[in-house]
Structure 1
Amino acid sequence: MVYNEKRDKLLFCKRIKEPYKGLFNFVGGKINPEEDGFAAAYRELYEETGISEKEIELNHMMDFTYYNQDCYVEVYVGYLRREVELKVELHPLYWLELNEDFFNTSKFAGEGNIGHMVEQVVQYGSGVSGERDSDRASINKDNSLTTKSLPSEDMNQLGTLDKNSLSIGVDGCKGGWIVASIDHGTLKIEKKTSIEEIVTYYDGFDYFLIDMVIGLPSGKEQIRPDMYARQIIKERTSTIFPVPCRQAVYAESIAEAYEENVRVLGKKFTPLTVGILPKMQELDTFLQEHEEYKNVILESHPEVCFARLNGKTVLSKKSEYEGLVERVQILQKYLPRLNANDLMQMAKQNRCNVDDIVDAICLAITANLAKQGLCEVIPEEPMIDETGLKMQMVIGKV
């Protein structure tokens, strides 16, 4: 998708052969084996139009997979930096006004896909922020992702990142944990298999926040921070799961866990809680066996942190594309080079949900703010469980 320098026209080719003969389509071509998508996009654009990398910056906006056609499509978008003399390779080229009905399948190829892509740019922007390609977020061979923050003078009034610290944010995922680290201003995202692997790899961190229960109640009189968190995000209280008692977490079966929770706390817990019982046990066991990390690895909650970074509760669901984009835009206030589509691609490669990655980044940013004294603990005077763990959450200040 190529916009002119005034951003009021889109570049199309008119196909002279099938498929879609006689219809307008975006320029494009095939990605060669072992070729990077960005490299292919710039190469095909130059071959089809004569537009070089010096004259446009492309952003990876979205992907389509057509399983019944065994076809995978990557979509890139950009704005020309200056007027360019087009060079036709095969299909004639045309600049079309933005008031066209791009969903008109008698004029445009793709069964409505062109209209959908244009609408995405209208609603959410192109993702092009003016950075050099060498500074964009990049997915590495080990499926980790790195991106640099902007210099502090380019950040907005919400705050700047501490460029002299190592801050860690962790969220559980299928098969392990997603770790977002902000190391001296550079974000890196990786998947690790265990808590022990995380602390070994990131030895020397300044602040470590995790979206997992720390401090397990052993009786009704012990109050966790969950009730305080629910008061902050009253519209999204369902995202804060009921925490089981210590006896239930270490039960030998789910049936026994339910029985123990009813016996100790007088209530059951939800099926969603059942899914994270192994993660609760892993983290608690690690902390019991490594006293030096007790009350050093700290609990937080992404939705509460997003509310604090945003100034109000984020009502959209991060499992949906719109919710993902909204949260990435909040995080871009601190890491402007984040891109929703890069995160989606990385989630596929790491076989995790993209919201696991987004949550980990949110906690890493909050950890960085905590290092600067810009966070608070709820409740202000937390209770302590029977093993010495504080039952608290670290969140951003109002």
Structure 2
Amino acid sequence: MRGIDGCPAGWIAVTIAAEGPLAPSVTITRDFADLTVGVEKIAVDMPIGLPDRAGPGGRGPESLVRPLLGERQSSVFSVPSRAAVEAEDYRECCRLALETSDPPRKVSKQAFFLFPKIREIDRLLRADPALVHRVHEVHPEVAFWRLNGETAVPEPKKVKSRPYPPGLAFRRALLVAAGFPEALLLAPPRGAGPDDLLDAAVNALVARRLLAGTARPFPDPPLRDAHGLPVAIWA
């Protein structure tokens, strides 16, 4: 089972056993397709399934999971329309987003910088429909919510004044309790941050639940976009 998160070097993946001891390993690669080989379930922190028009609060999954996260709600951004995501120029992206959203809204620079990764996964899944049954959208804060007894994690992951803020320590402790070696979680590989490693690790636990049939989708059942891709955040 594999949990994946975006990172400065491309993608960071944590692979664990399907059952029993986790036996985790960590990989970094530039190409997402490399990470789809040799595993039954993949849980990635990136939107899958894009709307033709964006409604209030996003596609649907976003508005369902935000109330679960307390002060961490802002970590869930609203996914704009497919036309906006496919635009490679920021001004054009904002123009298309305004035309295809209700109420009209532009796109933040932070969200825009994620779009190449969203496009990478979208094109891969549309080209190989068999992957749709193996690659699932997750959100780390929702995954930590479930790991924390369905309670929102009280501290943010990042605090500018702290090199390793309490929020990361809290999340790391949850993962250690779930079976991850603490030494592995304290040593992110070059090209990824400590938060990227923890997010990939908690996503891997969702991948294990997906295989076991115990993961929960928001919404249930998942929606579908115009290309038949599922639209749901799994936890």
Q: Shared topology, TM-score over 0.5?
A: yes
> Structure 2 residue aligned with 1:392, among 222, 225, 232?
232
What CA deviation, in whole Å up to 9, does each residue of 1:183-234 have, x standing for no partner? 353101110111111113xx2x222110001000102468331111102113
Once residues 215 and 384 of structure 1 are traced to their aligned partners in structure 2, the CA distance between those partners, rounded to angstroms, is 7
Q: Which one scores higher on RCO, CA 8 angstroms, separation ≥ 6? A: 2
1:175 positional shift: 2.4
Superposition pairs of residues 333-352 of structure 1, within 5 angstroms: 333-339=177-183, 342-347=184-189, 350-352=190-192
> Structure 1 residue aligned with 2:200, among 360, 364, 380?
360
> Structure 2 residue aligned with 1:270, among 108, 111, 120?
108
For 1:326, the equivalent position in structure 2 comes to: 170
For 2:44, the equivalent position in structure 1 comes to: 210
Superposition pairs of residues 82-93 of structure 1, within 5 angstroms: none
Superposition pairs of residues 142-221 of structure 1, within 5 angstroms: 167-183=1-17, 185-200=22-37, 203=38, 205-220=39-54
Letter in 2 for 1:172: G
For 2:125, the equivalent position in structure 1 comes to: 287
Superposition pairs of residues 191-270 of structure 1, within 5 angstroms: 191-200=28-37, 203=38, 205-220=39-54, 223-265=59-101, 266-270=104-108
1:251 positional shift: 1.2
| Shift in CA distance, 336/253, structure 1 to aligned 2, threshold 3 Å | closer
1:315 aligned onto 2:151: no
| Shift in CA distance, 369/383, structure 1 to aligned 2, threshold 3 Å | closer
Larger radius of gyration: 1
**What is the root-mean-square deviation in Å for CA atoms of aligned residues?**
1.7
Superposition pairs of residues 91-110 of structure 1, within 5 angstroms: none
The structure carrying a bigger helix percent of its residues is: 2
Asked if structure 2 preserves the Cα contact closer than 8 Å seen for 1:228 and 1:379, the reply is yes
Q: Which runs of 5+ in 1 are unaligned?
A: 1-166
> Structure 1 residue aligned with 2:214, among 374, 377, 380?
374
Once residues 276 and 382 of structure 1 are traced to their aligned partners in structure 2, the CA distance between those partners, rounded to angstroms, is 23
Asked if structure 2 preserves the Cα contact closer than 8 Å seen for 1:223 and 1:383, the reply is no
Letter in 2 for 1:314: V
Q: In the comparison of the two structures, how many residue pairs are matched?
A: 222
Counting aligned pairs with the same residue, the percent is 29
Asked if structure 1 preserves the Cα contact closer than 8 Å seen for 2:3 and 2:13, the reply is yes
| Shift in CA distance, 229/209, structure 1 to aligned 2, threshold 3 Å | same
Once residues 172 and 385 of structure 1 are traced to their aligned partners in structure 2, the CA distance between those partners, rounded to angstroms, is 23
1:366 positional shift: 1.8
- Normalised to the residue count of structure 1, the TM-score between the two structures is 0.53
1:173 positional shift: 0.7
Once residues 252 and 182 of structure 1 are traced to their aligned partners in structure 2, the CA distance between those partners, rounded to angstroms, is 35
Letter in 2 for 1:209: A
1:240 positional shift: 0.5
Once residues 234 and 272 of structure 1 are traced to their aligned partners in structure 2, the CA distance between those partners, rounded to angstroms, is 21
Letter in 1 for 2:158: S
Asked if structure 1 preserves the Cα contact closer than 8 Å seen for 2:42 and 2:134, the reply is yes
